[in-house]
Structure 1
Amino acid sequence: MSFREKYARLGERYNVLEKPLDRFFCPLRKMAASFARGRVLEIGVGVGKMLPYYSQGVELHAVDAVPEMVEIARKKARELGLNVQFYVMDAENLEFPDGSFDTVVSSFVFCTVPNPERAMREIHRVLKPCGRAVFLEHTKSDCRLLNWLFLRPLDVLLGFLLEDNTLRETHLLARKYFEIEHEESHYSGIVRLIVGRKV
């Protein structure tokens, strides 16, 4: 079963599944959204967990590969009174012209995208020159012991449930494509906030 099918089946239950982590992740989501300016694209919007944190001044567009998730996010945007343009679209194949956005935001997406390198190239392509890419992502920890004792078992579980890969090194991939302006490591590198500029 593909990640699309698994997330489609989860639907609204995804909120329940992730609720225990909200107190850890929501402050980081708020921080990530604070870097968004101008015409903004969020890839992998999911159930819309980032939506409450964007500034009212941005022009927000959001994509997800799973139609059921897009509908949940659209409903949340209506409840929040937000004007958001939603699209069903893969991160690896963004159907926007080159240089379309001032900011692209990715929040806990690169652990799931089947082809991370291709998705990173697409983010780079749709950004305007000097545009900003903001990543809030699960990554391989700086601590080898933590990787073996915690992340590897979690990787097996989440891989089975959601096709997630918690051991990806998205922070290193981002450095290949962007000039890094800001980087934070949280929980021994299990979560990182990375802000890069297209040069």
Structure 2
Amino acid sequence: MNKPTSCDIDVAFDDLYSVNRWTSFRPITLQARSERTVVDAEKLSEIVKLAPVHFDQGQADLNGIGQALTAEKLDVSEVLAASWCTFGTANIEALVDAPTIAFVHSRGILATTGKRKMLGGKLKYSTVDFTSCRGYGPTEHEDPRRLGKFCIEFAGPGNILLGRLQWTWRAKRFGDSRQQIMAVAEERDRILQLVTTLLG
């Protein structure tokens, strides 16, 4: 069984999630890149600048993002979409995930802002490898504190959660927040449509 890929946390939820909530598909074989990747800094800067932002936003370190791309043997030209969100492997109710940028490419997803850990200085990033993915699908969560998430979950062999892209929203205490919340849902759906195109 392939181990879930996350540089920060590896958590199995085979007893918490039902495969019925995910879209199943036939595993695909993708050719891995073996050559060293040279990052196009100007193009990377443009991708980050154009990544849609709603409620999830932080500071992006372009040098660190470039190093994460290189570590994953991923060229900037392979990035098909980018979006500010959070990446989770804990329960969907948890509010512990920092904002990140999800970079979607044909082989999977890289989520990072290029920052490093306080202890040890290790580069912080998470990935979803589509070769390990056995299902995926949208899900939502609403918290009583006037906030919630629109998500895409990815499941691996044995129904193990590989990772969850999460677009959070927060409702105003007074006033109508429906337009802002719908905009968050539309961004989740944009990335979901691309994932569906890639995985079927």
Structure ranking higher on relative contact order (CA contacts 8 Å, 6+ apart)? 2
Structure number having the greater helix percentage: 1
Same fold (TM over 0.5): no
Rg larger for = 2
Normalising by structure 1, report the TM-score. 0.27
